[in-house]
Amino acid sequence: MSSNTLKYKGQIGSIEHDLDRGMLYGKLLFINDLVLMGNKVAEHLKISTEKGRKLVISTINQ
């Protein structure tokens, strides 16, 4: 797993990804509560990356 942070509307959240499972996880940081999130967004990112790669290759081959 790897981690990073994301800033959104003045809040900072952690982002961890598990590429083997295709999941993104995170939580809001620096607050007096626990807010967790998780989603299978990594799979969508992988699909979009593959589509973009195919588009670049097809453009080069023309």
DSSP-assigned letter for residue 32: S
CA triplet 8, 35, 44: central angle to 5 degrees?
60
Secondary structure E strands in the chain: 2-8, 11-18, 23-28, 36-39
Q: pTM for the complete prediction?
A: 0.52
**Strands of the sheet with 11-18, listed across from one edge:** 2-8, 11-18, 23-28, 36-39
Q: Is pLDDT at 50 greater than 80 in this prediction?
A: no
For 15-34, what is each residue's pLDDT tens digit? Answer: 888 878 878 888 888 888 88
Can you give the residue range of the structural domain that contains 49? 2-60
Q: How confident is the model at residue 3 (pLDDT cuts 50, 70, 90)?
A: low
Q: Is pLDDT at 2 greater than 60 in this prediction?
A: no
Number of domains forming the structure of the chain: 1
